């Protein structure tokens, strides 16, 4: 494995992001919805963490808070990384820009010069194996290719704006959920490869237990209404099928716990 | 850890998927074929119209001073061209319309952005602006004459009242139709308010904005003609509207129809030469080829 984009700097900091007793409610008064209540979570630099939970349990809300797109009602979120990169379920590429220009966009917003932008965007496109497709428009790409361009663009926003050595953080909100099974399979492997090559930390949201176990070093289960961290599993040592079983059972318990309420 | 071999397999599967999955690009038909498809039908329609006109004239249903022959109208146009009058008249009107239109763009663009993005402004003047669109701009001519006299100011005032609402409304519609995810992505990529407006909001709203510009041009041209036909004075010189007005005063139906023909020619010409290709290029670049 070679780190082509950033020196694999061993960070002395012990966390890329730390959430302490984060609460988030939407609306006011009687109609307010408590989406997250007392979430504590730490992601180490370069760590790959999957956030697992049923639909509507507050995964996207949590990710938006970390991304800074929304502010917590109370509690604190501390980031030691450069601006986190965000990837959504839809690629959301700018339809009027070519793939390469889409990747350049965050670099442009960060004020990079044209030559530097081109070079960096080229590197990132080759990283997601799309070096040949830079001149294409989003509508000329398949769903999987679009999602890879979105990945390259997200990486550009975190790596491109950082000074050398700052750890990156990539936030992904069910990025492969809308893809067909074969494409998803390939992209999962691509993501793991990119993660190893860039040594960026990843916080990956999914409702798919298999995906979580396959990708992450650590799986964090979130309860629903309000969202809280229920349990964590490490996937580093342990046999996969047993772990999947275990997590699935626990997830079912959490969900069926709501039937009575 | 993925072994290099597995890595290569993956790359091969990925490349296969890319090749299978990427949408096919339809070939653009050749230039000659496109010409055949787009220019020939209107030409045939025009020829038919001329034929019907000639036949009606030959049948003498109406007296000559109401329905002139195509050839006498053509003679009026040819005479105006030969004496250089047509060029003067066209120049006077077209440069007024273009100047008025550009001013309207400068006013309507920030106005549209404000209405689209600031809730109070939208609540205050949003519906007024849509309402103004349905007000015929000729209604402003009397007021303009009372305020500014029969001067170019009146003419520009009427043109602005006609075109600013269309352009601003087009921009508002364009902004309203932006998928909400795009501005969020912009924010996540680190765009501030101004950068977001420039790099995301405006380009994303471009199709709606262009539609507004197109309509704004049509309204400019129409309002200008209305103003020129009604407000005539030596101070204003002779534009197409005055030419039409003069034809009517002289009871010269050939001149009147020649003027209408020239007015149409400019309107259609700008639409076909400027706005249509622009709109096409913008929509095609975004893969929105359905309407073309
Ligand atoms: N902007 C909002 N206004 C009101 N309620 C919201 C808003 N966003 C999310 N919620 C509520 O917060 C809860 C968590 O939503 P979300 O984070 O989208 O869940 P997930 O991504 O896990 O499916 C849901 O009950 C949802 O209805
Ligand atoms: Mg969600």
Residue B282 lies in a domain: yes
Residue A205 CB: number of other CB atoms within 10 A? 23
Helices (H) and strands (E) in chain B, counts: 13, 0
Chain A residues inside the 8 Å CB shell of B185: 86, 88, 92
For residue A3, the model assigns a pLDDT of 38
Containing A140, the helix (H) or strand (E) segment is none
For residue B14, the model assigns a pLDDT of 77
The stretch B212-233 carries a mean pLDDT of: 89
More confident residue, A183 or A48: A48
Distance, in angstroms, between B9 CA and closest chain A CA?
Answer: 10
Residue B255 CB: number of other CB atoms within 10 A? 23
More confident residue, B156 or A224: B156
Q: What is the secondary structure of B58-73 as a DSSP string? A: HHT-S-TTTS--HHHH
Residue B24 lies in a domain: no
Helix axes A114-127, A181-198, angle to 10 degrees: 120
**Could you tell me the distance, in angstroms and rounded to a whole number, from the CA of residue A135 to the centre of ligand 1?**
37
Q: Which superfamily does CATH assign the domain made up of A17-23+33-81+168-261 to?
A: P-loop containing nucleotide triphosphate hydrolases (3.40.50.300)
Task: For A125-166, write each residue's pLDDT tens digit.
Answer: 988 888 888 899 998 888 888 988 998 898 888 765 555 567
Residue B57 lies in a domain: no
Look at residue A259 and tell me whether its pLDDT is greater than 90: no
Of B10, B15, B287, the CB nearest to A139: B287
- Give the pLDDT band of residue B217 (cuts 50, 70, 90): very high
Task: For B124-143, write each residue's pLDDT tens digit.
Answer: 888 888 888 888 888 999 99
Containing B24, the helix (H) or strand (E) segment is none
For residue B136, the model assigns a pLDDT of 87
- Give the pLDDT band of residue B7 (cuts 50, 70, 90): low
More confident residue, B37 or A172: A172
Task: For A45-103, write each residue's pLDDT tens digit.
Answer: 889 999 998 888 888 889 999 988 888 888 888 888 778 889 988 889 999 999 999 99
A53 close to ligand 1 (CB < 6 Angstrom): yes
Task: For B146-199, write each residue's pLDDT tens digit.
Answer: 999 888 899 999 999 999 999 999 999 999 999 988 988 998 888 888 888 889
- Give the pLDDT band of residue B85 (cuts 50, 70, 90): confident
Residue B196 CB: number of other CB atoms within 10 A? 19
Pairing of strands A74-79, A85-87: unpaired
Smallest CA separation from ligand 1 atom 12, residue? A35
Measured CA to CA, the distance from residue B244 to residue A251 in angstroms comes to 80
- Give the pLDDT band of residue A12 (cuts 50, 70, 90): very low
Measured torsion, CA atoms of residues B255, B256, B261, B263, in degrees rounded to the nearest 10: 110
CA A47 to chain centre: 11
Task: For B92-102, write each residue's pLDDT tens digit.
Answer: 999 999 999 99
Residue of chain B minimizing CA distance to A107: B189
Q: CA angle, corner A250, sides to A245 and A256, nearest 5?
A: 125
Decide if B137 contacts B161 (C-beta within 8 A): yes
Decide if A85 contacts A160 (C-beta within 8 A): no
Look at residue A4 and tell me whether its pLDDT is greater than 60: no
CA atoms within 13 A on the CB side of B243: 28
ipTM over 0.90: no
- Phi-psi group of A38: left, alpha or beta (phi > 0 → left; psi -120 to 50 → alpha; rest → beta): left
Task: For B268-280, write each residue's pLDDT tens digit.
Answer: 889 888 998 898 8
Residue of chain B minimizing CA distance to A83: B190
For residue A143, the model assigns a pLDDT of 84
The stretch B227-256 carries a mean pLDDT of: 87
- Give the pLDDT band of residue B231 (cuts 50, 70, 90): confident
- Phi-psi group of A149: left, alpha or beta (phi > 0 → left; psi -120 to 50 → alpha; rest → beta): alpha
Does A61 touch chain B if contact means CB atoms closer than 8 Å?
A: no
Give which of B269, B221, B239, B230 is closest to B104, Cα–Cα: B221
Integer CA distances (angstroms), A201 to A23, A250, B55, in order: 23, 26, 81
List chain A domain ranges: 17-23+33-81+168-261, 95-166
For residue B164, the model assigns a pLDDT of 94
Residue B25 lies in a domain: no
Residue A42 pairs in a beta bridge with: A18
A55 close to ligand 1 (CB < 6 Angstrom): yes
Whether residue B63 has a cis bond before it, omega within 30° of 0: no
Interchain proximity B181–A138, CB inside 8 Å: no
Measured CA to CA, the distance from residue A86 to residue B187 in angstroms comes to 10
Give which of B117, B87, B74, B93 is closest to B263, Cα–Cα: B93
Does B204 touch chain A if contact means CB atoms closer than 8 Å?
A: yes
Look at residue B9 and tell me whether its pLDDT is greater than 80: no
For residue A78, the model assigns a pLDDT of 87
Q: Which of A23-27, B29-33, B214-218 has the lowest mean pLDDT?
A: B29-33
Smallest CA separation from ligand 1 atom 2, residue? A26
Q: What is the CATH number of the domain that holds B79?
A: 1.10.3720.10
Instruction: Indicate the DSSP class of residue B273.
Output: I
For chain A, strand residue ranges (E) read 17-26, 33-43, 48-52, 74-79, 85-87, 169-173, 201-206, 218-222, 229-234
For residue B288, the model assigns a pLDDT of 81
Interchain proximity B182–A92, CB inside 8 Å: yes
Domain count, chain B: 1
Interface with chain A: mutation pick from B22, B185, B194, highest number of A CBs within 10 Å: B185
Chain A residues inside the 8 Å CB shell of B23: 139-142
A35 close to ligand 1 (CB < 6 Angstrom): yes
Look at residue A1 and tell me whether its pLDDT is greater than 50: no
Distance, in angstroms, between B8 CA and closest chain A CA?
Answer: 11
| B145-154 contacts, C-beta under 8 A, 24 or more apart | B145/B230, B145/B231, B150/B231, B150/B232, B150/B233, B150/B235, B150/B236, B151/B233, B151/B235, B151/B236, B152/B96, B152/B235, B152/B236, B154/B227, B154/B231
Does A146 touch chain B if contact means CB atoms closer than 8 Å?
A: no
Residue B34 lies in a domain: no
Integer CA distances (angstroms), A243 to A136, A202, A221, A252, B254, in order: 42, 21, 13, 14, 90
Containing B292, the helix (H) or strand (E) segment is none
Residue B15 lies in a domain: no
Q: CA angle, corner B91, sides to B89 and B95, nearest 5?
A: 130
The stretch A164-174 carries a mean pLDDT of: 81
- Give the pLDDT band of residue A179 (cuts 50, 70, 90): confident
For residue A7, the model assigns a pLDDT of 38
């Amino acid at each position: 494995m070679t780190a082509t984009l950033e020196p694999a700097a061993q960070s002395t900091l012990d966390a890329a992001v730390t959430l302490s007793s984060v609460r988030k409610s939407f609306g006011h008064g009687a109609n307010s919805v408590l989406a997250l209540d007392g979430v504590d979570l730490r992601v180490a630099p370069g760590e790959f963490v999957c956030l697992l939970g049923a639909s509507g349990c507050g995964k996207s809300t949590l990710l938006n808070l970390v991304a800074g797109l929304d502010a917590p009602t109370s509690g604190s979120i501390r980031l030691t990384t450069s601006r986190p990169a965000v990837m959504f379920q839809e690629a959301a590429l700018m339809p009027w820009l070519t793939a390469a220009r889409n990747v350049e966009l965050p670099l442009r917003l960060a004020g990079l010069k044209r030559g530097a932008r081109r070079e960096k965007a080229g590197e990132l496109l080759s990283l997601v194996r799309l070096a040949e497709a830079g001149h294409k428009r989003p509508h000329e790409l398949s769903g999987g290719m679009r999602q890879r361009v979105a990945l390259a663009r997200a990486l550009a926003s975190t790596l491109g704006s950082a000074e050398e050595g700052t750890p990156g953080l990539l936030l992904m909100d069910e990025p492969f959920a809308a893809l067909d099974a074969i494409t998803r399979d390939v992209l999962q492997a691509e993501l793991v490869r990119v993660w190893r090559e860039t040594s960026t930390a990843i916080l990956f949201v999914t409702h798919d237990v298999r995906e979580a176990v396959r990708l992450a070093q650590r799986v964090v289960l979130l309860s629903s209404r309000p969202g809280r961290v229920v349990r964590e599993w490490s996937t580093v040592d342990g046999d996969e099928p047993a772990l999947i079983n275990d997590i699935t059972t626990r997830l079912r318990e959490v969900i069926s716990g709501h039937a009575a309420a | 850890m993925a072994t290099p071999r597995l890595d290569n397999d993956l790359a091969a599967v990925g490349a296969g998927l890319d090749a299978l999955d990427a949408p096919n690009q339809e070939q653009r038909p050749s230039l000659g074929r496109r010409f055949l498809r787009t220019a020939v039908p209107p030409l045939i329609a025009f020829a038919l119209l001329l034929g019907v006109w000639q036949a009606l004239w030959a049948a003498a249903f109406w007296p000559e001073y109401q329905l002139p022959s195509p050839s006498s109208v053509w003679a009026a146009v040819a005479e105006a061209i030969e004496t250089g009058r047509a060029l003067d008249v066209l120049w006077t009107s077209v440069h007024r319309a273009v100047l008025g239109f550009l001013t309207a763009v400068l006013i309507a663009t920030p106005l549209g952005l404000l209405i689209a993005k600031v809730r109070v402004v939208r609540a205050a003047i949003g519906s007024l602006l849509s309402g103004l669109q349905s007000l015929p701009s000729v209604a402003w001519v009397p007021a303009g004459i009372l305020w500014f006299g029969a001067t170019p100011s009146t003419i520009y005032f009427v043109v602005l009242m006609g075109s600013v609402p269309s352009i601003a409304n087009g921009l508002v519609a364009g902004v309203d139709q932006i998928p909400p995810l795009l501005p969020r992505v912009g924010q996540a990529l680190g765009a501030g308010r101004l950068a977001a407006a420039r790099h995301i909001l405006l380009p994303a709203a471009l199709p709606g904005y262009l539609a507004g510009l197109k309509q704004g041009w049509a309204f400019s041209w129409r309002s200008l003609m209305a103003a020129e036909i009604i407000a005539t004075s030596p101070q204003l010189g002779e534009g197409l509207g005055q030419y039409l007005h003069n034809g009517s005063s002289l009871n010269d139906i050939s001149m009147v129809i020649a003027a209408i023909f020239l007015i149409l020619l400019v309107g259609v010409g700008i639409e076909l030469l400027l706005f249509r290709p622009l709109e096409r290029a913008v929509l095609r670049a975004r893969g929105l080829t359905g309407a073309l």
